[in-house]
Structure formats: structure tokens, C-alpha cells
């Protein structure tokens, strides 16, 4: 099946923040309790060492997520790392809680940050976890070109793909998983219970957005097509897959960095 560019509610400017934040909070809860990106940790460590910069600018952070686990793992191994969370629709309450619990290795930008036009003040290794699929090809190319233009390495990782296992996983997660874990998600909000159980808007939007996310993920071949216009003698583009450390669905990645 080819890539399909359908809409996700989360991307719509009019979509209520309270509902969007419930969704990003759930995603963060899930990915920080089931570490799927352990095999990517040494890849990011290598990019940081190659760049000589310990700062990571996490784009489209949602409510947090894999970068938290990776940052804590690298910090525990005495590797220098400082992460800045950003998003076009920043979940400031979640960002603030993550920063306060991070022992100083994570901070955040409270204002909207457009991944296609990242301010020059936010320099460092850029990361995007489970978010690149939100962007149609032209916008995706703009993200890559912006990183390359500023000589900022970029690492893109998708935990999903267009295969049946991903689609089934989304159905289980949105229909069963969300209902089971919602009372344990922090920060506690009465609105979360209201829109999950009494008015089940959150499960509905998470099911739709999750299935659409799978259908929008770029394959390694499609990632190579995106970078074909950005080939340069002083820059490396590298795509591929890695084993998922907690399941059968392989991670898809794209790396871009200055050639040594």
C-alpha cells in the first residue's frame, strides 16, 4: 500500500487543546513505559559526538515521549545531553512537568515552534519521534532543508509503519489500552475522565489519528526520494530500519548530518 495523506484531528488548528493534550499525554505515557527506541540510543549518541554539541532540539514533541527515555539513558551513562522540547501546539503543562522531573537535562520552549522554520537560537541536533509523518512531502522537504541549511544534524524516527501489525496495534491501543490506563495518566485532569469515559471523544480521535498516522508513515525508499533534491558533497543522508526493542514492528529512521 502506498502512502496516504489523510488528515489528523491533532493537526487542525481549531481542534480543542484540552482534547489534543489528552491524546499527547496518553502517547507519552505509553512510550515512556514501553521503551521501543533503545536500539536508537547509540545512534543518537554517535550524532551528538560527531557534532560536538550536547544539545538536542526535539521537534514536534507532543506531550514528551521517546526523547525523555533516551536522554535519561545517556545521562545515566555519563554522556552530556541537554534536551529542549518544542511543538507547534506545545503541551506546556506536560513540558513543565517533564522538565521539573528531569534533573536539569530537559527544558522546553513554551511558544509554538514550526519545524520548517526553526529559530537560529535553537541550534543543536534536531530530533523528531513519531511525528514526521504528519507532514506532506513539500513540508517534509522544508523541514529537512531547514536543518541542512543551518548545518544542524537531524534524526527522524517513526515507531509505526503501514503494515497490518501497526494498524492492529493502534486499534488495541486506542480501544483497550487507553480505557485501561487513563486513570493513571498524570497530570490528573477531570476533563480527561470526562472525554474518555462519559463522552468518549478521546478514544475516537486517537483511533482515527493513530490509523491515519500508520498510513502516512514514509518508507525508507520514500525518505530517500525526499532527500534526492538535497544531495550535497558536504552532507550525508542515511535512511533505514532498526529492530524495535519492545516489539516486532521495526523502527524507520532518517539521519542527516554534515560530512566530516
Q: What is the mean pLDDT of residues 10-20?
A: 96
Indicate whether 1 pLDDT > 80.
no
Domains annotated for the chain, with CATH where assigned, are 1-259 (3.40.50.150)
Indicate whether 187 pLDDT > 90.
no
| Angle, helix 17-33 to helix 92-100, in steps of 10 degrees | 30
Q: What is the mean pLDDT of residues 224-231?
A: 97
Q: What is the mean pLDDT of residues 37-50?
A: 95
The model's pLDDT over 194-211, given as tens digits with 9 standing for 90+, comes to: 999 999 999 999 999 999
State the Cα–Cα distance between residues 163 and 115, nearest whole angstrom.
27
The model's pLDDT over 128-179, given as tens digits with 9 standing for 90+, comes to: 999 999 999 999 999 999 999 999 999 999 999 999 999 999 999 999 999 9
Backbone angles phi, psi at 5, to 5 degrees: -100, 75
Q: What pLDDT was estimated at residue 101?
A: 94
Q: Residue 236: beta bridge partners?
A: 257
Amino acid at each position: 500500500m502506498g502512502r496516504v495523506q489523510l488528515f489528523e484531528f491533532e493537526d487542525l488548528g481549531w481542534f480543542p487543546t484540552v482534547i489534543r493534550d489528552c491524546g499527547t499525554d496518553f502517547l507519552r505515557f505509553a512510550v515512556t513505559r514501553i521503551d521501543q527506541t533503545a536500539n536508537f540510543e547509540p545512534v543518537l549518541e554517535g550524532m551528538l559526538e560527531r557534532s560536538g554539541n550536547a544539545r538536542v532540539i526535539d521537534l514536534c514533541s507532543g506531550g514528551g515521549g521517546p526523547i525523555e527515555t533516551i536522554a535519561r539513558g545517556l545521562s545515566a551513562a555519563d554522556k552530556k545531553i541537554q534536551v529542549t522540547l518544542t511543538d507547534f501546539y506545545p503541551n506546556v503543562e506536560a513540558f513543565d512537568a517533564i522538565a521539573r522531573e528531569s534533573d536539569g537535562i530537559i527544558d522546553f520552549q513554551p511558544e509554538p515552534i514550526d519545524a520548517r522554520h526553526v529559530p537560529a537560537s535553537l541550534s543543536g541536533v534536531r530530533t523528531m519521534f513519531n511525528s514526521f509523518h504528519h507532514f506532506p512531502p513539500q513540508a517534509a522537504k522544508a523541514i529537512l532543508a531547514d536543518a541542512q541549511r543551518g548545518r544542524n544534524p537531524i534524526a527522524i524516527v517513526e515507531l509505526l509503519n503501514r503494515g497490518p501489525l501497526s494498524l492492529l496495534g493502534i486499534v488495541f491501543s486506542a480501544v483497550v489500552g487507553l480505557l485501561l490506563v487513563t486513570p493513571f495518566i498524570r497530570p490528573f485532569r477531570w476533563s480527561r475522565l470526562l472525554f474518555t469515559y462519559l463522552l468518549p471523544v478521546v478514544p475516537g480521535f486517537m483511533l482515527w489519528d493513530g490509523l491515519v498516522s500508520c498510513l502516512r508513515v514514509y518508507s525508507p525508499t520514500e525518505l530517500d526520494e525526499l532527500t534526492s533534491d538535497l544531495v550535497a558533497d558536504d552532507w550525508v543522508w542515511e535512511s533505514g530500519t532498526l529492530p524495535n526493542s519492545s516489539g516486532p514492528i521495526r523502527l524507520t529512521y532518517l539521519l542527516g548530518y554534515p560530512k566530516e
